[in-house]
Structure 1
């Protein structure tokens, strides 16, 4: 608990919470709704973390007394086991908090999925990957909003983007960034041959501060088109969908889920700002790697995980060597083990994270 206390620093959290609470009580604080919302959200996060640590510390302290009582009264054994499991679960959750140190890690994320090599199988796989990531986000308690989806030619999707709104969404989804590989018997092959398909996942932070990234609209092509996916009669009958092409970087974003062209353009601009921030950070890291003479991280386009459905079943993360023998659970959104292991690896604790496989794995 001492190590966790040092990492969480509950005293600093309480001081920050008190500082923010004082600001919230100042005259005119709520006049700027956007700024007030950010301060209020930070206050809620700091207060929650401090309260969670305080309760955890108290409950952990009670375990010794409860264990002693259980030795005298065997009926308390079940309660002791539950309390130990609860404390361990909350310790793991708070330890996870320490893994997010990036500027945007605590904020919302825009996740983009694109079909890669593999034809129709890849487009079908992209849709499966989209479902998996959105289900994980929803199970995590995030608010998820599909922003755009471009239907595949025969099945699946060519691309899609969604926003995940919740604490540490960007930091968590960063562990999923890269190329995902699927191996299975193709349902689109008349000879039922095994096929390999690829889909890429990109993630960008949601940048609400316009001053963070200044976009010259003279550098942006704005195209409108008729939405092709689900979204109600309005979006399907008007050219409300918006595509933005940023010529200097080549970045293309699009949004079709909002109810008006103006709203779609505003959301697309947020998506573009986030992708430009991600591009800037990636270029900075590559420059640092070159200066140090290190091998550059090719994670942006590399294969991070394989999902094998035939001739055997297994999901393996190639960065951490974490394996799971039940792809169905993973494809239904059970990603915590993979994400946590990758976060630990990045924090320099990969050996502890990649500690073997699940029981019964292939």
Structure 2
């Protein structure tokens, strides 16, 4: 009976803490679904594999929270992994949670693709956008769009469809490029590409407003893109460290299996309270030489 009461109390405490944390997710778009995009960075085939590991990590995080995840686009790598992916995550305050994930994610490990099994560093860019409200008006001039169609391809670059159903949409004024090839229908891929482009343009306007407000306050605004936000070290020890909050944990396997809540909360708390403040929890761990199963 005592163990049961303790378990129930722990569950109630966890639920209460989660609901209290949600009170911080009061941004203009925090309650909306999120569109998360992952793109390979520097590192060749290792970077493509790393992009796929991150892709799987976010799908597992969504599953852990009971959120719905729909894959909007998935472009396979030449030899392994993926070049890019886009996923819509729908759940309570999905964008509020995931917005802290935007930026460059760095992986250090012994490369499974190196014949000498040397240590490699790989990078991937994560972009997180709020899905625009269906009633949110945004006029896109058709003359501002360049639309190219091509055949969708699978692993190794082979064509998987005879018809040109994949689409690449370029918004000329902003330079944004969206490629979608996940659906069989050209119309479906165009619709998805337009939704993602819409989200990018809404996010661009949000950034412009934030920069203008910061300028009026006299604050310095650091650029979001190209900023390294988190490192995942799998050799010679295991450590995941968030560079904004100083939060770190040696349980890299759990993180890559989708256990992101503590990292996300520490990062969001650090944005509000500053690094090293209460809520930006630092976990000190012993460095251990642990094997990392790739779980391909």
- Distance change in 2, residues 1:150/1:206 (3 Å): same
Who wins on radius of gyration, i.e. which is larger? 1
Q: Normalising by structure 2, what TM-score?
A: 0.89
Q: Which residue of 1 aligns with 2:253?
A: 328
Equivalent residue for 2:23, pick from 94, 98, 111: 98
- Within a 5 Å distance, the mapping from 1:85-124 to structure 2 comes to 85-124=10-49
Equivalent residue for 2:228, pick from 286, 292, 303: 303
Q: Which residue of 2 aligns with 1:356?
A: 282
Give how far 1:200 is off: 0.5
CA shift digits 1:61-106 (9 cap, x unpaired): xxxxxxxxxxxxxxx5334323321221121121122021122211
Equivalent residue for 2:116, pick from 191, 194, 197: 191
Query: Partners of 2:281 and 2:202 in 1: how far apart?
Result: 34
Give how far 1:325 is off: 0.5
Equivalent residue for 2:56, pick from 131, 134, 139: 131
Structure 2: unaligned runs, 5 residues or longer: 289-296
Structure 1: unaligned runs, 5 residues or longer: 1-75
Tell me the secondary structure at the aligned position of residue 102 of structure 1. coil
- Distance change in 2, residues 1:179/1:185 (3 Å): same
Give how far 1:359 is off: 5.7
Q: Which residue of 1 aligns with 2:244?
A: 319
Tell me the secondary structure at the aligned position of residue 258 of structure 1. coil
CA contact (8 A) 2:75 2:181 kept: no
Q: Normalising by structure 1, what TM-score?
A: 0.73
CA contact (8 A) 2:38 2:127 kept: yes
CA shift digits 1:297-319 (9 cap, x unpaired): 23332111100011111111111
Query: Partners of 1:97 and 1:84 in 2: how far apart?
Result: 20
- After TM superposition, what 4+ stretches of structure 1 lie above 4 angstroms from structure 2? 358-362
* Structure number with higher relative contact order (C-alpha < 8 Å, ≥ 6 residues apart): 2
More helix by share: 1
CA contact (8 A) 2:229 2:244 kept: yes
Tell me the secondary structure at the aligned position of residue 198 of structure 2. helix
- Within a 5 Å distance, the mapping from 1:58-97 to structure 2 comes to 76-97=1-22
More strand by share: 2
